[in-house]
Amino acid sequence: MREINIYTSFFIMIIALAICIGSLKLSIYTPRGPGPGFMSFGTGGILFLLSFHLFLKSLFSRTEGGAKDAYPKNIKTTSLILSALMFYALFLEKLGFILDSFLVFSFLFAISRTMKWYASIACSLSLALGSYVLFSVFLGIGLPRGMLNFFR
């Protein structure tokens, strides 16, 4: 596991540097404010710093993890989460943002078993409505309404 982390973090550092160099060609800052390369430069910089941290941590680590550490401990939970995300992407237009988000959040809270059913429903509803208000009302982003057309 240690060697895999060293190689992958080094490879990701190269990709992050390429992103930063490419964003410098787009100009990071203009006299009117941040330029088109600002976000990609910041993202590349953060990616470089995180992969550099993993590189140093793996390089100077004395413990040698086995290959079994690389696999998820619970394949069933991982596959259920991936299925929920696929459901979210497939039915977002048909069900609408609020209903689709509520169903997916409820399902994810249910499989995590971190709270009681009524608390997970309340959290799911507040997350779905809160994110809709944030993105649609305050930020003015058009989200799919789906079957719930009364939210305008």
Mean pLDDT of the chain: 86
User: For position 65, what pLDDT does the model report?
Assistant: 56
Sorted by where each begins, the domain ranges of the chain are 2-70, 75-138
User: For position 8, what pLDDT does the model report?
Assistant: 92
pLDDT tens-digit series, residues 73-106:
678 888 999 999 999 999 988 898 999 999 999 9
Please state whether the predicted TM-score (pTM) of the whole model is above 0.75.
no
Question: Helical H runs in the chain?
Answer: 2-24, 38-59, 75-95, 97-112, 117-132
Give which of 147, 142, 141, 132 is closest to 96, Cα–Cα: 147
E strand or H helix at 34: strand 33-34
**Token pair listed for 78:** 């991982």
